[in-house]
């Protein structure tokens, strides 16, 4: 499954999607936009790289960031719910992670947390891609996010 499969599934369900990306910097929404007819399912997307942007734009609670770290499933969940609400979408994908090359000393380089929220469910997951290099981690995270969203929607 890839972005073409995701867009087709969204069109079948008559769903709109949004993304809330941090470490991937828009790669997921760019992948969706690569698909013909993407405008039928994607209206807007958010790149909230800084913690302050996550709180100001997506409504992530600063206490969640303080308690769990900005790279956490809890923050990914709040990012996804915030994006879904703000965009009035049926589905939201969120990504927050530590792409590298250096770590903050707490989160291991290559750790990425994902969230997918639909009208009826939400799921979060953490993947450890390893210290493969910043752009490799970002690319692998974007691919995984699309596959994860597709699977959540198929299982809905």
In order of start, what are the domains of the chain with their CATH numbers? 3-155 (3.90.950.20)
Q: What is the pLDDT of residue 102?
A: 86
With a cut of 70, which residues of the chain have pLDDT below it?
A: none
- Strand 111-117 with 91-97, pairing: antiparallel
pLDDT digits (tens, 9 = 90+) for 85-124: 999 999 999 999 999 998 888 999 999 999 999 999 999 9
Q: What is the pLDDT of residue 105?
A: 85
Residue 67 CB neighbours (<10 A): 11
Task: Give yes or no for a contact between 109 and 98, defined as CB atoms under 8 angstroms apart.
Answer: yes
4 contact partners, CB below 8 Å, separation of at least 6? 35
Q: What is the pLDDT of residue 150?
A: 98
């Amino acid at each position: 499954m890839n972005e073409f499969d995701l867009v087709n599934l969204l069109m079948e369900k008559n769903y709109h999607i949004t993304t809330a990306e941090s470490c991937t910097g828009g790669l997921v929404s760019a992948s969706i936009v690569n698909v013909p007819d993407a405008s039928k399912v994607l209206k807007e997307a958010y790149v909230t790289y800084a913690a302050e942007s996550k709180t100001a734009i997506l409504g992530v609670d600063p206490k969640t960031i303080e308690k769990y770290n900005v790279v956490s499933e809890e923050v990914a969940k709040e990012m996804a719910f915030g994006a879904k609400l703000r965009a009035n979408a049926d589905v939201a994908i969120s990504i927050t992670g530590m792409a590298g090359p250096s770590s903050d000393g707490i989160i291991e380089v290559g750790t990425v947390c994902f969230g997918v929220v639909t009208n009826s469910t939400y799921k979060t997951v953490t993947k450890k891609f390893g210290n493969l290099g910043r752009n490799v981690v970002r690319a692998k995270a974007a691919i995984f996010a699309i596959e994860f969203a597709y699977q959540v929607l198929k299982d809905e």
